[in-house]
Amino acid sequence: MEVDLDGLPRPLDGLGSGSPKPDLGAYEFLLATADSNGDGIPDGRTWEQGLNPIAPDLAIQDPDVDGASTGEEWVADTNHTEPSSVLRLGLVREENRVVVTFPSSARRRYTLESGPDPGATVWVPVPGQILVPGNDGMLSFAVTSAAIDGFYRIRVSL
């Protein structure tokens, strides 16, 4: 792998065109929003976390062995090097409601979805719990409808 004088890998997608191209000069230009390897994780995020933005298998790795890949941790806005930093749901079932609690990021939006079983192919957004902004703290969704039985998951949107 070729690197510039600062150790930045090259070539990167310095133009944001979707394909890496050679750069002139001793220093590679890092466009933070570009995605040089096409894995969905911006180059700026990978480099600031000490990762190689052109590594072909970066998004599928799980360096902290917490069960979430680097790509999944990017979407959830959790730390890929810290095993305790992972999107885990807490669920409390009461007589007439279900409360789902999880750590959130102010840079993400969350939708609570319900399904008949964990392997369901169709998940339905819970009314009133769609694209709710995170708050950099614990976020809770309460379901009080008659159909509280079933399974729940959180969909994270960038």
**Residue the block writes with tokens 């009314």:** 127
Which residues in the chain show pLDDT less than 70? 1, 146-148
Q: Which residues on adjacent β-strands are paired with residue 115?
A: 151
86 closest CA partner among 98, 76, 71, 100: 76
Residues 20, 45, 89, 129, CA torsion sign:
negative
Residue 47 to residue 135: CA distance in whole angstroms: 25
44 closest CA partner among 56, 60, 30, 61: 30
Residue 41, pLDDT score: 94
Residue 96, pLDDT score: 85
Q: Where are the domains of the chain?
A: 1-83, 90-157
Residue 147, pLDDT score: 60
Contact (Cβ atoms closer than 8 angstroms) between residue 11 and residue 34: no
Q: Is residue 156 classed as helix, strand or coil in its secondary structure? A: strand
Cα–Cα distances in angstroms (integers) from residue 148 to residues 106, 122, 142, 145, in the given order: 27, 16, 10, 6
Contact (Cβ atoms closer than 8 angstroms) between residue 74 and residue 45: yes
Residue 73, pLDDT score: 93
Helices vs strands, H then E, count in the chain: 2, 9
Residue 155 to residue 52: CA distance in whole angstroms: 27
Residue 25 to residue 22: CA distance in whole angstroms: 10
Q: Which two tokens stand for residue 97?
A: 């409601």
